Amino acid sequence: MDRTNRRSPRELGPAVIAWAALLLLFWRALTWLAATALVREQVGHAAVVLTFGLVFLLRDRPGGNPLELRFGSRAVKFYLGAVVSAGFAALLQEPLLMLCGLGFFAGAVLLFVLGDAVFRPALGFGLAFTGFTALSILLPFADWPLRVVAGKMAAWFLGLLGNPAQLGFAGEPLRLILVSGDRPFEVAPECNGFGIISGCVLLALLLVFSRRLRVLDKLMILALAPLLGLISNALRILLIVLLAPAAGDHYAILHEVVGIVLFFGTLAFVWWLVAGLPERVR
């Protein structure tokens, strides 16, 4: 074992104090984010995508010891970025500025634990974490618009297949109903596609900024990611409508299986797209 990289308790003491101070500074934002992920299923799915995406990305990280546990130059910059962002958020009374600070916080943690060699994954993770926080705030406002778009796209796909469908509002409280043939299907909040759309966006952010890609390629993937999520969600509704008559009493199982297959299949497709892009030469 290389003793030069071992940290004594005296060396780790200031780091523990620094992280405790930063955790205290962001405590309210972090607890709100955790509570939102637990209460809203789609936000929880996005958090899982972000976590597992980072784990797989770091499997083949550059050499070095498993744990650095020290403030390198880049970790210090990210740490200071988090502090400055939180300071401006408090000074200007603008909570949204904490989004940027949370991104710096996430990147600083990764750089502290694994060292400056993971700068690009840390940058991608920080940006993706900021995106995750922003999407968590947007979910309540995006629910109905996303449901309407998903229903219209599914109805359009059904029309292309020779199965005309109608979409409309009914009931109290208001529900969005897709009617195919003589069978109605509710486009419920779980069908708004927020989980797969946000998953695609966060995975794209994590991946494109973790590699040395051309700017045009980054913009292409970031523009394509939400579109892929929308299409995947509409295809999910389409398949459920088409297969429902054959499912019988197993409709609930069909609903879950189709959703899981398309969710992970779309994420795998995003990963495959980014992996196939050439990196810039230094």
| 19: pLDDT strictly greater than 50 | yes
Least trusted range by pLDDT, from 95-99, 244-248, 265-269: 95-99
Task: List, in sequence order, the alpha helices (H) in the chain.
Answer: 9-25, 27-39, 41-57, 73-91, 97-114, 119-160, 194-208, 215-247, 251-275
Percent share of the chain, pLDDT over 70: 93
Rounded mean pLDDT of 165-178? 89
Residues contacting 161, CB < 8 A, separation 6+: 242
Tell me if residue 54 falls in helix, strand or coil: helix
| 2: pLDDT strictly greater than 70 | no
Q: What angle do CA 231, 37, 142 make, to 5 degrees?
A: 45
Distance in angstroms (rounded) separating the CA atoms of residues 63 and 215: 27
Helix 27-39 vs helix 9-25: angle between axes, to the nearest 10 degrees?
70
| 44: pLDDT strictly greater than 60 | yes
Rounded mean pLDDT of 85-108? 88
Rounded mean pLDDT of 242-257? 88
Compute φ and ψ for 250, nearest 5 degrees: -100, 25
pTM here is: 0.85
Distance in angstroms (rounded) separating the CA atoms of residues 23 and 29: 10
Rounded mean pLDDT of 154-178? 89
Q: What is the pLDDT at residue 62?
A: 55
